[in-house]
Amino acid sequence: MPVEKIALITGANKGIGYEVARQLGARGTIVLVGARDDVRGKHAADSLAARGITAVSLRIDVRDATTVSDAATEIERRYGRLDVLVNNAGIAGGFTGPPSEATADDLREVYETNVFGVVSVTNAMLPLLRRSEAGRVVNMSSHVGSLALNADPASPFARLNMIAYQSSKTALNALTIAYAKELRGTPIKVNAANPGVVATDINHHQGQRTPAEGAVIAVRLALLDATGPSGACLSEDGIVPW
Ligand code: NAP
């Protein structure tokens, strides 16, 4: 019998993260439902369990170093390794004005979750991912973080100018490449997933895609075989330019 994979998804209590957990769970993966709020996390894990998925709620606030290291300790105690980390937790931030009116704090607020949180969670989980036969890290990025699309006036994504959120996803893309470079020559692959424009709380449900559709590329990258890419930025339709 094949050994079940163990996957941690941050921000898995709702939206795309919940769907990533559901789809990974449906493929036989044990899912650790990362949530910053215990009640919301348990509710999500219970709802996954009701669908026949092995789901365990794990408190993890990506901005809180103690919860991050406690989560790593708990995963080590229970399983001794981690096969998949999906860095999904993200916020848009409250600032929506033009870049000239943004403060450093407006950016810092978003970066704490979308960028620094990813570094802190990834570094805490890497020792466990190194114990996997095929560790996979998936960073939930966005087309709106693509420099190439932002610089192309013909791109629909160029219309948006949310400096904090968009640059945080650009930074996340940079992190993806940085970790992929370090981990080249190991079994661990690190990629950026672009879900498309998905109707969730983060965008007040202004999106054509469903969370289930948005989750597909992350799930694919989470389950890549040894021939798959590392250091790539992908959507369901293929490569997204950096
Ligand atoms: P969502 O429904 O608002 O979900 C965001 C998730 O992140 C929630 O579970 C939220 O938890 C969690 N979260 C926020 N801050 C956290 C923290 N400090 N620690 C742990 N968890 C935290 O939005 P979504 O659309 O599913 O977003 C998921 C990811 O996809 C984000 O990284 C987002 O940037 C990315 N994305 C979304 C779209 C889109 O169109 N929706 C497009 C491209 C990329 P709470 O419930 O506790 O707030």
Please give the angle made by the CA atoms of 166, 234 and 54, to the nearest 5 degrees: 100
Place of tokens 């989470």: 222
pLDDT at 1: 58
Question: What span, in angstroms and rounded, lies between the C-alpha atoms of 218 and 145?
Answer: 16
pLDDT at 2: 66
pTM of the model: 0.98
Decide if 13 contacts 45 (C-beta within 8 A): no
Could you confirm whether 179 is annotated as catalytic?
Answer: no
Residue 121 is inside which H or E element, if any?
helix 117-129
Decide if 71 contacts 8 (C-beta within 8 A): yes
> Which position among 169, 179, 181, 189 bears the catalytic label?
169
> Does the CB atom of residue 91 touch ligand 1 within 6 A?
yes
> Does the CB atom of residue 231 touch ligand 1 within 6 A?
no
**Cβ neighbours around 207 below 10 Å, total:** 17
Question: What span, in angstroms and rounded, lies between the C-alpha atoms of 195 and 198?
Answer: 7
Question: What span, in angstroms and rounded, lies between the C-alpha atoms of 77 and 164?
Answer: 37
> Which position among 165, 179, 181, 189 bears the catalytic label?
165
Decide if 20 contacts 87 (C-beta within 8 A): no
Decide if 193 contacts 139 (C-beta within 8 A): yes
Q: In what order do the strands lie in the sheet with 84-87?
A: 55-59, 30-35, 6-9, 84-87, 136-140, 189-194, 233-235, 238-239
Class of 6-239 in CATH? alpha beta
Pocket test for ligand 1, best of 202, 209, 237 (most atoms within 8 A of CB): 202
> Does the CB atom of residue 71 touch ligand 1 within 6 A?
no
Cα–ligand 1 centroid distance for 2 (angstroms): 32
Per the document, the length of the chain is 242
Pocket test for ligand 1, best of 8, 9, 14, 175 (most atoms within 8 A of CB): 14
| Residue 98 scores a pLDDT above 90 | yes
pLDDT at 83: 98
> Does the CB atom of residue 195 touch ligand 1 within 6 A?
yes
Cα–ligand 1 centroid distance for 12 (angstroms): 8
Three-state secondary structure call for residue 30 = strand
Residue 69 is inside which H or E element, if any?
helix 65-79
At a CB cut-off of 8 Å and minimum separation 6, what does 46 contact?
Answer: none
At 161-193, the pLDDT tens digits run 999 999 999 999 999 999 999 999 999 999 999
Cα–ligand 1 centroid distance for 89 (angstroms): 5
Question: What span, in angstroms and rounded, lies between the C-alpha atoms of 37 and 2?
Answer: 33
Q: What is the mean pLDDT of residues 62-85?
A: 98
At 122-173, the pLDDT tens digits run 999 999 999 999 999 999 999 999 999 999 999 999 999 999 999 999 999 9
At 12-69, the pLDDT tens digits run 999 999 999 999 999 999 999 999 999 999 999 999 999 999 999 999 999 999 999 9
Could you confirm whether 5 is annotated as catalytic?
Answer: no
pLDDT at 3: 82
Burial of residue 154 (number of CB atoms within 10 Å: 0-12, 13-18, 19+): exposed
Q: What is the mean pLDDT of residues 87-113?
A: 97
Cα–ligand 1 centroid distance for 117 (angstroms): 12
**Domain boundaries in the chain?**
6-239
Q: What is the mean pLDDT of residues 89-111?
A: 97
Q: Sorting pLDDT into bands at 50, 70 and 90, what band is 235? A: very high
